[in-house]
Amino acid sequence: MTENTTIDTAAETEYPQPRYDSAGPVAAIGNSKASRRSFIKGVIASGAVASSASYVFGGLSGCTPEQAATPGGVERLMSLNVNGEVRRVDVLPNETLAMTLRYKLNLTGTKLGCDRGECGACTVLVDGVPNYSCSTLTHTVRDKAVRTIEGLESPNGDLHPVQQAMIDELGPQCGFCTPGQIMSAVALLEANPSPTRDEARRWLSGNLCRCGAYDHYLNAVMRAAQSA
Ligand code: FES
Ligand code: FES
């Protein structure tokens, strides 16, 4: 058993918690007044809308904004606030945020590992809260601010203190989980600038690392907290 799995998930803290607790990443959807069941139903329903629309209209690509609204669905063209920039993007009703970021907006720093809400590689911040972007429908964040790993660097090119601490503590091994780990850590330190090591461990528990670099990542979070 890794150190990351021995945490006390019952412990209470005063700052907001990441949205991938025992209810899974779709708990984030729960905060927007939708249950896990309705989320899954929504995914299934929107998929059905997309596929039936394709059957009737022979595909939706290239249609005008007026035509883009699918019956019973959502308008496909949307403005997405990513890293402080408003980006116009054509989003399928059942498209996940990870897909939009990586394959529509070319923000490939967000990684796709399991693509099923288990590993945390795809973690991004939505209004400052960590979310699994592989399990978040892009249309649910149209009024929110999304932050990805690309948005952490300052305009003059300086790395975010958490990024720098990850380097100093030799956190990344293969590096695949690192963007997700960093985004979770950034959210933690913004909510609680002086976490205990146990608090940091619990906060990062939604980010798995197949290389087992958990201690390095925790060292980095504590170093970044001290340098703030
Ligand atoms: S890729 Fe999203 S949780 Fe694994
Ligand atoms: S550094 Fe390889 S999976 Fe975490």
Q: What is the pLDDT of residue 48?
A: 38
Q: What is the Cα 181 distance to its own chain's centre?
A: 11
In a domain, 177, yes or no: yes
What pLDDT, in 10s, does the model give residues 171-189? 999 999 999 999 999 999 9
25/134 same-domain check? yes
Residue 6 domain-assigned (yes or no): no
Task: Please indicate, yes or no, whether residues 32 and 107 belong to a single structural domain of this protein.
Answer: yes
Residue 155 DSSP one-character state: T
**Cβ of residue 213 lying under 6 Å from some atom of ligand 2:** yes
Looking at the fold, whether 122 and 158 belong to one and the same domain comes out as no
What is the CATH classification number for the domain harbouring 58? Answer: 3.10.20.30
Ligand 2 probe mutation, 211, 215, 216, most atoms within 8 A of CB: 211
Q: How far is the CA of 31 from the centre of ligand 2 (A)?
A: 30
Same-domain pairing of 180 and 146: no
- Per the structure, the complete domain to which residue 163 belongs is given by 153-228
What pLDDT is attached to residue 6? 42
Ligand 2 pocket mutation pick from 4, 112, 209 by most atoms within 8 angstroms of CB:
209
Of 166, 210, 215, best ligand 2 pocket probe by most atoms within 8 Å of the beta carbon: 210
Taking 50 as the pLDDT cut, the residues of the chain under it are: 1-13, 21-64, 67
Number of the ligand closest to the Cα of 174: 2
In a domain? residue 186: yes
**Same domain (yes/no): 49, 140:** yes
Is residue 215 lining ligand 2, measured as CB closer than 6 Å? no
What percentage of residues in the chain have a pLDDT greater than 90?
A: 66
- Is there a contact between 34 and 40 (Cβ–Cβ < 8 Å)? no
**Which numbered atom of ligand 2 lies nearest the CA of 172?**
1
175 inside domain: yes
β-pair partners for 55 = none
Q: Are residues 133 and 217 in the same domain?
A: no
Which residues have any ligand 1 atom within 6 Å of their CB?
Answer: 112-115, 117-122, 132, 134
What pLDDT is recorded for position 131? 98
The 10s digit of each residue's pLDDT in 19-38 is 654 433 333 333 444 444 44
Same structural domain, 146 and 188: no
Angle value at C-alpha 106, between 213 and 91, nearest 5 degrees = 115
35 and 139 in a common domain: yes
In sequence order, what E strands does 100-184 have? 123-126, 129-132, 145-147
The number of domains in the chain is: 2
The answer to whether residues 161 and 140 belong to one domain is no
pTM of the predicted model over 0.85: no
Amino acid 60: pLDDT: 38
Whole-number pLDDT of residue 4:
45
What's the confidence (pLDDT) of residue 69? Answer: 54
Residue that is written with structure tokens 């945490």 in the block: 7
